[in-house]
A and B are shown apart, each in its own frame.
Chain A
């Protein structure tokens, strides 16, 4: 069964410090991985997906199939990055399931 784990419920960093939000997954095939974000009083929205290899708002994430990880990183955190971050996984193709991790709340302190 596919599963996503995020070991940290809460991560606090100071402004300007590097950030790494951890995500590990279990999946038998080749997964597609996503990071979704929910800012205060806003809807859940896509931050980035591994297949696009983009850097969004300074965040990047690399899929490591050997370690089954998809950690989210940003070199210099900003206060506006404070939000809930969810790692998510999907298989490819019609009928594949989609599963979210439990989420990590990032708090960037001034």
Chain B
């Protein structure tokens, strides 16, 4: 079992450029999470999916961030345009059914915006 897969692992872009992150959850996991983790802080939930439905996107900056989870499996998180303050590690996690279950995390994507 490969676990949660994320790509790319690292990304360096200039501000105002677009960027996309991809996540493949553990097979059979209905719930998928995207987190942002700034240096020295805990993960901050951006969006949570139950199958294809986004059930919690209250912390997603909707003016520049978007996410999708087509067919309830893979997910993509996009930032357009990126700002300097978006530099962080973006984590994807999945769980069986809802946040009361154990979350399995991917390795994360480290984004640097210059």
> Which residues of A come within 8 Å of B, CB atoms?
4, 9, 32, 36, 43-46, 49, 51, 86, 88, 90-103
Report A-chain residues with C-beta under 8 Å of the C-beta of B107: 43
- Alpha-carbon gap, A102 to B104, bound state (A): 19
Q: State the interface size on chain B (CB cutoff 8 A).
A: 26
Task: Assess whether B14 is interfacial by the CB under 8 Å rule.
Answer: no
Task: Assess whether B8 is interfacial by the CB under 8 Å rule.
Answer: no
Assess A100 versus B43: contact at CB under 8 Å? Given A43-B106, A92-B100, A95-B55.
yes
Contact B42 A98 (CB under 8 A): no
Report B-chain residues with C-beta under 8 Å of the C-beta of A99: 45
Our pick among B56, B98, B103 for the contact of A46 (Cβ within 8 Å) is B103
Report B35 CB to chain A, min CB distance, Å. Answer: 8
Assess A46 versus B99: contact at CB under 8 Å? Given A98-B33, A102-B41, A103-B42.
no
Contact A102 B42 (CB under 8 A): yes
Interface centre among B40, B93, B103, B108 (most CB of A within 10 A): B103
Interface centre among A45, A90, A98, A101 (most CB of B within 10 A): A98
Contact B100 A32 (CB under 8 A): yes
Task: Assess whether B90 is interfacial by the CB under 8 Å rule.
Answer: no
Contact A94 B98 (CB under 8 A): yes
Report 22 cross-chain contacts, Cβ distance below 8 Å, ordered by A residue.
A32-B100, A36-B103, A43-B107, A44-B43, A44-B93, A45-B105, A46-B103, A49-B102, A51-B100, A86-B43, A90-B100, A94-B55, A95-B55, A97-B56, A98-B33, A98-B45, A98-B56, A98-B103, A100-B35, A100-B43, A101-B42, A103-B42
